[in-house]
Amino acid sequence: MKKKTEKQYVIDVLAEESWRLFRIMGEFVQGFEDLSDVGRAVTIFGSARFPPDQPYSRKAEDLAGRLAKAGYAVLTGGGPGIMEAANKGAFESDGRSVGLNIDLPREQTPNPYQSDTLNFRYFFVRKVMLVKYSTAFVVFPGGFGTIDELFESLTLIQTEKIKPFPVYLVGSEFWDGLVTWLRDKLLKEGVLSEGDLHLFKVVDEVSTVPDEIEAYYRNANHGGFEIP
């Protein structure tokens, strides 16, 4: 077998990168087309590892059902755990239940409660879709992926790259350590401002969230949330 020259190797690499660019563009185009009519939507994040009977899963299902009845589409990452609970709540309440699935070697198996299913290869493309079409974020306990999505949304709001929208953290027991660290370390060190701590709200009760989102958008001069 003839060994490739350095020039042939460079050409192959460039060709592979070009095809990757086309795949990325294709995912953006497909996502924009499929979600263009989604209307008002709330994105729900959380761990893929929670079973259906876990209290946070039950809360996610309840909240998604309430959002669907209030006229909101529900967007999730399309997998198991909190995502499946949220899709189930919206789906069984006859709402639009959208799953933005990602190809992963483990954990990510599309759940069966999706009225709309989109598949992505690239995390960053999926995150653009979750932010672009969201009216609010509700973040349940989760791991690295959930925290990444939370801080990306807060960064975009903080830097005014997107218009501000409500961001809820569900579960004070889970999130209090993070909030304390933000207040007692980052704020005191001067790397956050006081206003940054009002970009999200920690809640335990989710039944009022749909009405709060409505009120948020009725108030044109909203100044963010107050942390309990």
**How many whole angstroms separate alpha carbon 185 and alpha carbon 38?**
40
198 HSE (CA, 13 A, CB side):
8
For residue 168, being part of any structural domain is answered with: yes
Per-residue pLDDT of 39-70, as tens digits, reads 999 999 999 999 999 999 999 999 999 999 99
Residue 7: inside a domain:
no
Parent domain of 43? 39-218
What is the model's pLDDT at position 227?
Answer: 36
Beta bridge mates, 101 = 119
Pick out the chain residues at pLDDT < 50: 221-228
Residue 114 lies in a domain: yes
Q: What per-residue confidence (pLDDT) applies to 228?
A: 34
**Residue 176 lies inside a defined structural domain of this protein:** yes
Say whether 169 sits in a helix, a strand or coil: strand
pLDDT of amino acid 51? 96
State residue 114's pLDDT score. 96
Task: Write the CATH number for 147.
Answer: 3.40.50.450
- What's the pLDDT score for residue 72? 96
The answer to whether residue 46 sits within a structural domain is: yes
Query: Domain count of the chain?
Result: 1
